[in-house]
Amino acid sequence: MQLSPTLAGRVNQIREYRNMTVKDLAKACRMQTGRIEDIEAGLETWLSTTDRQILARALRIEAYVLKEAEYEPAHPELSDPPPELLHELAENILHGVRELICPRCKKAALKCSVQEGFDIEGARIHYARAFCDNCPFVLK
Ligand SMILES: [Zn+2]
């Protein structure tokens, strides 16, 4: 069998070779079917070590078969966003905007919240918190 060069293609190919449906594979991995669909659609191009092992085990292949097809984009934009952007982000959150995309990976919606605290003079202040599910970005 000629293996597909992409993770998406390879997972799809091996899953079908094993006679598994997306649902079967999701169940074997204890993942949502949508997650498997995302991987097969090429939305996820690389996996965490744990996910890779789980997926490889469910597909009954060695983890490297998946790893060698993974593509982890090396992006300079994954460095921390500039302070102006963080400031703007915080302002948006404080104004109740919640549909914000992570400024670091630009892939996931941020989980935002407004917290209450006190400044050094004891005055009540509100500050924005946000974190990303997809990358280590945290606004604090
Ligand atoms: Zn992110």
Over residues 78-124, the pLDDT tens digits come to: 566 888 889 999 999 999 998 899 988 888 899 999 998 888 888 99
Closest CA to 15 of 69, 56, 70: 56
Residue 103: CB atoms within 10 Å: 19
Q: Is residue 2 part of a domain?
A: no
Q: How far is the centre of ligand 1, averaged over its atoms, from the C-alpha of 20 (Å)?
A: 32
- Domain around 59: 7-67
Return d(Cα 108, Cα 94) in angstroms, integer.
20
Number of domains in the chain: 2
Spatial neighbors of 19 by CB under 8 A, at least 6 apart, are none
pTM given for the model: 0.54
CB 102 within 8 A of CB 134: yes
* Shared-domain flag, residues 62 and 85: no
Ligand 1 is an ion; its neighbours by CB within 5 Å are 102, 104-105, 132, 134-135, 137
